[in-house]
Amino acid sequence: MILQCSYQKGEDNMQLQKMMTYNLRTDFITEIIQMVSGLLLFLFLWVHMLFVSSIWRGAGAFNVLANFMDRWGLLPFTIMFLIIVFALHIGTVLRRMPSQYLEHKVVWKHAKLIHHADTWSWVFQSITGTAIIILAMIHIAIVSFAGINAHLSALRVQSREFLIFYIVLLLLSEYHASVGLYRVFAKWGFVNRHSMKRILNFISLFMIFIGAITLGILYTLGA
Amino acid sequence: MEESGMTLFVVLNKIREEQDPTLRFDFVCRASICGSCGILVNGRPTLACRTLTKDLPDLTTLLPLPVFKLLGDLSIDTGIWFREMSIHTESWVHNDEKFDLTAQEERMDNEIALMIYEAERCIECGCCIGGCMMTNLKPNFIGAAGINRVARFMMDPRDKRSNQKYFEVIGNKEGVFGCIGLLACDDNCPVAVPLRGQITYVRRKMASVGWKMK
Amino acid sequence: MGKHDMFMTDVLIIGAGLAGERAAIESARGGLNVILLSLVPPRRSHSSAAQGGMQAALGNTVMGKEDNPYVHFIDTVKGSDWGCEQDVARLFAETAPIVMREMACWGVPWTRVTTEPRIYDGKEINEEAEKVGLISARNFGGTAKWRTCYTADGTGHTVLYTMDSMVMKYGISVHDRVEALSLIHDGETCYGAIVRCLRTGKLRIYTAKSTVIATGGYGRLYGASTNAVINEGSGMSIVLDTGVVPLGNMEAVQFHPTGIVPSWILITEGARGDGGYLLDKNRYRFMPDYEPDKKELASRDVVSRRMMQHIRAGYGVDSLYGSHLWLDIRHLGAKHINTNLREIANICRQFNGIDPVHELIPVRPTQHYSMGGIRTNIHGQAYGLKNLYALGEAACWDLHGFNRLGGNSLAETVAAGKLIGARIAEFTKDVASNVSFSVVEEHLYIQQTKIDRLCSGKSGTENVYELCNKMQDVLSHHVGIFRTEGPLQEAVSMLRELHERSLYIGLRSAEGGANPELGLALRLPGMIRLALCITKGALKRQESRGSHFREDFPKRDDVNWLKRTLAYWPKDAKEPVLRYEPVKITELPPGDRGYGEANARSKSALK
């Protein structure tokens, strides 16, 4: 009746198909892909922000950059890059997300119960991640069909719906990126995670600030 | 409730003696050494024996730690969980050399001894397991206690297991790559085992093994 | 019998602390089938709480130079106040270094010798370069050399965890959360035990060729004890209940000088060993006045008595919880306190809100260890019943006599486990399993009837918790550090009355199963019987020896009392029957301990 020394959990049972397809490194590689794709997206976010903020120096500067990208066919390249990296990130991250209703309930119950900031931030991470998928797809679709041009952007921002859309996307992506990068440090070490958190918070606020100014400039340009 | 130095150990025993004689809970050493009394106090995993009532709000909720098998009221079966984990990770020094009764002991650098002790200090209370999102979601994840246990043997020069062997045990999603880095374990460990340090140590070591593996 | 789970094995070990597990490993290595029973998961056993260390004459440190088992033996005999079995002490002292090295080989991260200089008692200590990396040692009370091996402040913890890892390695079955209620025996031979599962409350039958008791001490008979709450002496009491096996020297109860006030959690001897002082209410270091030579590090019985003496003289610090003294470790420095004494620093901070780096720790002598227990011979075989063994604190192997040296108990568990485990393996091979089922039925029936009667609600009206608290009060107040005829006499009659009442306990919850109230109700009569053995033994022993101190007989009396008390409890008796046996003196004739009352003002000549 009480046989304590038997490890009887699911995966110790022999399953032929599982044995034959088993690769020792699967979980390791998935983990690495998740991290690298996340870091690439983070990097992209920064570059993107820098490029867009060229509007600070006037519509001319913005358009020069846009034309440069157009001439060298960088736009489709970037879009392809984004789709692939997004797909990898989503594909690897999905394994962590609760997939069943019951698991969702567990996540909420647990987060509400233990009063732990990092645990809540993971719940928000899943929510913001899901939202970003939808918002970013819309954003990419618009840009790839309409092309990049200061005038167009300025006009778009004039519409209240689009302005809200961009503000939300800005906030969500900065939050997601910040927490994601913090998590990488938390998992791999090297730095004190508490001071890292403060630094990343500062960086995110700074980026949001830049983004807000950029949106503001576009708004005034449009008006 | 006003006596100074009153702990949940005293309170729960009083309740059992005076109000509900069937109330089940576990205490052994009542000195935060044995790890029997892991519990959620207002949601936070901690040891009941050293929770002072003067630090608690007027209304306090006590719940048994999740993940473990519930035996009744606040009593949970942490012993079985930890035994299964220990056997799964083969938590003993793997060394085939025969002990020589007459020989002097093998030397060890004191720094290494202290490092091993740092990991060995885990008291198996289960606070890291109960407070972990992943163990709550995926029952097969061995949690911070499991990863720390493996770290303890990894840094022990007496254990002759190869890195490949360790990778087979915890280089997967049930092991260190199942950790999503929320670190409630590190924040809640009642004996302050540096769990984040242990997890990152194992993760980096396993990553380098995984990287070189064919 | 059909509705009960039944287990058959070669060796049944009751108690999975260090002693039980070490014996289990040795038996399993001898090719036997072993089952370990435990009240709690093995790693929660009280062995884990031993912070200080284990004595073994390795002689690796400068202060332990030229140490050898003979010196260790002499320290042990003196510590015991010549109450120990000298052949046992000798065997133990010779085995201790071997088991220490064996534990190192199995994985204990012993603190090692380093060349980093240490300051001790104002002197700087520099280790020899050629010893670096060997097992280090610290100072403990009552020893001529520094001999106590340790892992920082978690010796018991690491040794127990390592031991348990070997239990897993050898695949030994452990059944935790069970409690043995009685031994299965026919008055001549022991066949196993009737056991209650604490998860479900169901009874189980374990039959075995050899049964081993390693259940530890009975600290919880006293209200204020450093012991874990599970240390209720249940192993001793089921053995006493057989009526044929005696308990030895039950009056020898050790009080540890430094239990923290008011939770009575142990502050390890390591705190004084590493250089801590005891101070009185004037912050005056008083121990050198009483013990000029050993100061705070005389043996535990002496320091405890000196502390109580000093409190009685009016130098105690008054508090809500009675008078106490101070332990001062501030001068050891934050670094030392936070590494080598971390566990006690944590205890001070968490349970008392005190930071020992800057503040004094309130301490008072507190019940700590039982030198007495199930009387066995040098092979661990219990007197009176075949195929029954005992070891560790539960046993009176008689290594400790009337006072145990700090660091000797942990070392005893492992050394005795190895030695006695090997004997068990050897002797069990010749035992045929021929348990008669009527014997099993009989014992099962007795226990089942007891439980049914308690659960029926018709067994009486006595409150189990009230009786238990009364028993604790009687022992604490009448059978403490200083003992006299009058109070002891009174204690015997009070305990007799409590024992009578304990047979008519009425549960407030008629619930069967794993009900904790039922558990205590089953144990309590046995606990009171142990209390009676202690008290009556103390009453009859008209001398002072080791931790047993009679104010009306303050001198050791080797002419009349160089003997060991054996307490029997015949069937249906009202109190124990005491017999005596001589103490075995093989090498060291009774003499001066070099500390304590006999030597109050003379410097030790024996060092």
> What's residue A3's pLDDT?
35
Average pLDDT over residues C4-21: 96
CA distance B148 to chain A (A): 14
Q: Is the pLDDT of residue B10 over 50?
A: yes
pLDDT digits (tens, 9 = 90+) for C152-207: 889 999 999 999 999 999 999 999 999 999 999 999 999 999 999 999 999 999 99
Domain ranges of chain A: 32-222
* Chain A contact set for C176 (CB, 8 A): 4
Tens of pLDDT, residues B145-155: 999 999 999 99
State yes or no: pLDDT of C247 exceeds 90. Answer: yes
- Partners of B121 on chain C (C-beta within 8 Å) are 154, 157
Q: What's the average model confidence in pLDDT over B157-165?
A: 95
Question: Quick one: average pLDDT of C485-510?
Answer: 95
What is the pLDDT confidence band of residue C463, given thresholds at 50, 70 and 90? very high
Give chain A positions within 8 Å (CB) of C173.
3-5
Using 50, 70 and 90 to split pLDDT, how confident is the model at A75? confident
Backbone angles phi, psi at C35, to 5 degrees: -120, 130
φ, ψ of residue C135 in degrees (nearest 5): -65, 125
Per-residue 3-state assignment (H helix, E strand, C coil) for C516-534: HHHHHHHHHHHHHHHHHHH
CB C63 within 8 A of CB C464: no
pLDDT at position C458: 87
Is C466 in contact with C502 (CB distance < 8 Å)?
no
Give the relative orientation of helices A59-71 and A150-158 as an angle to the nearest 10 degrees. 120
Q: What is the per-residue pLDDT across A158-179, written as a single tens digit (0 to 9) for each? A: 888 999 999 999 999 999 999 9
Confidence of residue A23 (pLDDT cuts 50, 70, 90): confident
Rounded Cα gap, residues B122 and B32, in angstroms: 11
Q: What is the pLDDT of residues C503-537, one digit of tens each?
A: 999 999 877 788 999 999 999 999 999 999 999 99
Maximum pairwise Cα distance, chain C: 73
**Residues from chain B contacting residue A126 (CB–CB below 8 Å):** none
Residues of chain A contacting residue C175, judged by C-beta atoms under 8 Å apart: 2, 4
Instruction: List, for residues B55-113, the tens digit of each pLDDT value.
Output: 899 999 999 999 999 999 999 999 999 999 999 999 999 998 889 999 999 999 999 99
Q: Model confidence at B24, in pLDDT bands (50, 70, 90)?
A: very high
Q: What is the DSSP letter of A223?
A: -
Q: Is C404 helix (H, G, I), strand (E, B) or coil?
A: coil
Dihedral sign for Cα atoms in the order A114, A119, A124, A129: negative
On whether the CB atoms of residues C394 and C215 are closer than 8 A, the answer is yes
Residue A8 pLDDT > 50:
no
Please name the residue ranges forming H helices in B63-142.
Answer: 78-88, 110-120, 127-130, 133-137
ipTM: 0.97
Task: Suggest the residue from B12, B13, B22, B159 to mutate for an interface test with chain C (most C CBs closer than 10 A).
Answer: B22
Q: What is the mean pLDDT of residues A181-200?
A: 93
Residue that has been written with the tokens 């093989």 in this structure: C586
Q: If you ran DSSP here, which 8-state letter would residue C297 be given?
A: G
CA of C384: how far to CAs of A131, A186, C11, C180, C190, in Å? 78, 63, 19, 20, 10
pLDDT attached to residue A223:
73
Long-range contacts of A125-134 (CB under 8 A, 24+ apart): A125/A176, A125/A179, A125/A180, A125/A183, A126/A97, A126/A98, A128/A172, A128/A173, A128/A175, A128/A176, A129/A90, A129/A93, A129/A176, A131/A168, A131/A172, A132/A169, A132/A172, A132/A173, A132/A176, A133/A86, A133/A90
- In this predicted structure, the answer to whether residue B159 has a pLDDT above a threshold of 50 is yes
Contact predicate B50/C352, CB 8 Å = no
Task: Write out pLDDT tens, residues C466-488.
Answer: 999 999 999 999 999 999 999 99
The CA-atom distances, in angstroms, between B62 and each of B20, B54, C545 are 15, 15, 48
Question: CB B42 to CB A186 under 8 A?
Answer: no
**Residue-level pLDDT at A149:** 86
The predicted structure's pLDDT at residue C601: 40
pLDDT reported for residue C118: 83
Question: Looking at CA atoms only, how far is residue A193 from chain C in angstroms?
Answer: 23
Going by pLDDT thresholds of 50, 70 and 90, the confidence category of residue A69 is confident
Span A134-140, average pLDDT: 93
Distance (Å) from the alpha carbon of C263 to chain B's nearest alpha carbon: 8
Residue C2: per-residue pLDDT = 64
Rounded distance between C-alpha atoms, residue C397 and residue C390, angstroms: 8
Please say if the pLDDT value at position A11 is more than 70: no
DSSP class of C195? E
pLDDT at B135 over 70: yes
Predicted confidence at residue B207, as pLDDT, reads: 96
Contact yes or no for A2 and C175 at CB 8 A: yes
Instruction: Find the catalytic residue in C196, C272, C529, C564.
Output: C272
Type of residue at C532: L
A-B interface: how many C-beta pairs under 8 angstroms?
Answer: 106
Contact (Cβ atoms closer than 8 angstroms) between residue B148 and residue B121: no
Chain B neighbours, 3+ Cβ pairs < 8 A: A, C
User: Would you call C170 an interface residue with chain A, using a CB distance cutoff of 8 Å?
Assistant: no
For chain B, helix (H) and strand (E) counts, in that order, are 9, 5
Which structure tokens are listed for C488?
A: 């002891």
- Residue C588 pLDDT exceeds 70: yes
Smallest Cα distance from C522 to chain A, Å: 23
**Is there a contact between C570 and C404 (Cβ–Cβ < 8 Å)?**
no
Q: Quote the pLDDT of residue A10.
A: 44
Q: Which of B51, B85, B52 is nearest to B67 (CA)?
A: B85
pLDDT at res. C598: 63
Fold that domain A32-222 belongs to in CATH: 3 helical TM bundles of succinate and fumarate reductases (1.20.1300)
pLDDT value at position B165?
94
- Cα–Cα distance, B200 to A187 (Å, whole number): 6
Q: What is the mean pLDDT of residues A80-87?
A: 94
Half-sphere exposure of C359 (CA within 13 A, CB side): 10
C positions 139-168 inside 8 Å of A (CB): 168
Mean pLDDT of C583-595: 92
Token couple for C498: 């409590």
Which one of C175, C199, C205 makes the best mutation probe of the A interface by having the most chain A beta carbons within 10 Å? Answer: C175
Which positions in chain B have a beta carbon within 8 angstroms of at least one beta carbon in chain A? Answer: 40, 42-45, 63, 66, 80, 83-84, 87-88, 131, 133, 136-137, 139-140, 167-168, 171-174, 177-184, 187-188, 196-197, 199-201, 203-204, 206-207, 210, 213
Residue burial B7-20, b: 16+ Cβ < 10 Å; e: rest: bbbbbbbeebbeee
**Can you give the pLDDT at residue A7?**
40
| Average pLDDT over chain C, rounded to an integer | 93
- For chain B, which domains are there? 8-75 (3.10.20.30), 78-213 (1.10.1060.10)
